[in-house]
């Protein structure tokens, strides 16, 4: 074994249940894009399907993988769908995102009419992130045009929050007010009002008023907190269980003398005789180079500091006073005895966020699943 990622499907299910209860009566859509944040798209989706009112993906291929696996809940594609993939999306009942009412809308409608099947869409409004979405001033008229286009059914009107991790955010409240104002200004002419959604994990936890009709739950499903503020703000009975752990084994143990350097650039120099353990994983395997001379993994139940620069496929550890030998287990993320290393630890060491840590674990790493 060079490296193995272990996923607890039981933790995923328990997180899904707890989060669904937290956001009720709003519906719960679980986000499984980016290979389910590194947890494995299909196995993660299967684990929580029974608790999901919908699943959210980024690409049409992700949606097709879910359908091929027999997953039948509504699937919303949040990213762009190329014109040449519209037939595939419609054939598999995938819902798509619209952010303009121009020629792309006409192409979507033509696809629906040609196949004799309505295309369900979620219309995105830009309330402040400045990525994708209709301008709020033009959105009501655009949504009305979309709604009266034959072959199109609007399943949702939504936006995305920019600063929901903050406990005191006037910007968040302004974004919600903007989306609500757009929806109120639309005349649906007897049709059922589409679902309104704007909240992801952090907003659902910190801002109950943002839950609206549906919440898109991503990072929290995997047992990771969107921010320290969310962990501190929620009552103690709302618990999340990290579902992912990451392990390897030492492939070599080297003895070095005081004054010896370790790794590229000679950025670490030993101040004493040391035993150095070599882990056969590096930045190509999802370990951020920012962990160089900062991070730690667990060997023999103790945190062993990373020394030298993280290499493409290897990382070196100070084994300290342990009696570790080649072949011994290394816990990169997870717990052993009294020691623990978390995705949040990696994020702190690499000056990033836990989302990036798990999402960048390569799909090629072996993943095993247990209940």
Contact at 8 Å (CB) between 291 and 303?
Answer: no
Separation CA 132–CA 45 (nearest Å):
26
Of these residues, 33, 51, 124, 283, which one is catalytic? 33
Contact at 8 Å (CB) between 20 and 221?
Answer: no
- Residue 6, strand partner residues: 245, 368
Contacts of 251 (CB under 8 A, 6+ apart): 278, 279, 280, 326
**How many CB atoms are located within 10 Å of the residue 266 CB?**
11
Helix/strand/coil (H/E/C) assignment for every residue in 208-224: HHHCCCEEEECHHHHCC
Q: What are phi and psi of 241, to 5 degrees?
A: -115, 115
List, in sequence order, every beta strand (DSSP E) within 205-271: 214-217, 244-249, 252-256, 261-262, 268-269
- Catalytic residue flag (residue 33): yes
Among residues 98, 81, 213, 74, which one has the least CA distance to residue 151? 98
Separation CA 363–CA 330 (nearest Å):
20
Of these residues, 120, 264, 337, 369, which one is catalytic? 264
Q: What are phi and psi of 356, to 5 degrees?
A: -65, -35
Q: If you search the block for the tokens 């991503």, which residue do you land on? A: 218
**How many CB atoms are located within 10 Å of the residue 344 CB?**
17
Token pair of 100, please?
Answer: 């303009």
Residues in the chain: 371
Could you give the residue numbers annotated as active site? 33, 264
């Amino acid at each position: 074994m060079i490296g193995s990622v272990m996923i607890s499907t039981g933790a995923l299910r328990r997180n899904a249940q707890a989060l669904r209860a937290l956001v009720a009566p709003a519906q719960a859509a679980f986000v499984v894009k980016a290979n389910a944040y590194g947890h494995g798209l299909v196995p993660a989706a299967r684990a929580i399907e029974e608790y999901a009112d919908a699943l959210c993906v980024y690409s049409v291929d992700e949606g097709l993988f879910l359908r091929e696996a027999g997953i039948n809940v509504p699937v919303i594609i949040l990213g762009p769908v190329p014109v040449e993939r519209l037939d595939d999306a419609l054939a598999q009942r995938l819902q798509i995102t619209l952010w303009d009412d121009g020629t792309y809308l006409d192409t979507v409608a033509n696809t629906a009419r040609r196949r004799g099947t309505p295309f369900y869409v979620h219309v995105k409004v830009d309330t402040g992130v400045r990525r994708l979405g209709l301008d709020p001033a033009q959105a009501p008229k655009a949504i009305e045009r979309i709604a009266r286009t034959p072959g199109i059914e609007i399943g949702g009107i939504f936006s995305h929050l920019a600063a929901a991790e903050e406990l005191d955010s006037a910007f968040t409240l302004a974004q919600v007010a903007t989306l609500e104002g757009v929806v109120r200004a639309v005349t649906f002419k007897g049709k059922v009002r589409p679902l309104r959604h704007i909240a992801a994990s952090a907003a659902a936890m910190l801002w109950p008023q943002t839950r609206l009709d549906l919440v898109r739950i991503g990072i929290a499903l995997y047992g990771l907190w969107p921010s320290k503020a969310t962990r501190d703000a929620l009552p103690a009975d709302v618990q999340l269980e990290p579902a992912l752990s990451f392990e390897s084994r030492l492939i070599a143990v080297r003895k070095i003398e005081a004054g010896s350097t370790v790794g590229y650039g000679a950025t670490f120099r030993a101040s004493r005789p040391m035993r150095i353990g070599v882990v056969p994983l590096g930045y190509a395997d999802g370990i951020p180079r920012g962990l160089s001379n900062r991070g730690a993994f667990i060997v023999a139940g103790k945190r062993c500091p990373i020394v030298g620069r993280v290499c493409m496929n290897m990382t070196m550890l100070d084994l300290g006073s342990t009696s570790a030998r080649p072949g011994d287990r290394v816990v990169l993320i997870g717990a052993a005895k009294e020691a623990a290393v978390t995705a949040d630890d990696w994020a702190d060491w690499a000056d990033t966020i836990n989302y990036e840590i798990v999402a960048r674990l390569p799909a090629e790493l072996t993943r095993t699943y247990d209940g």
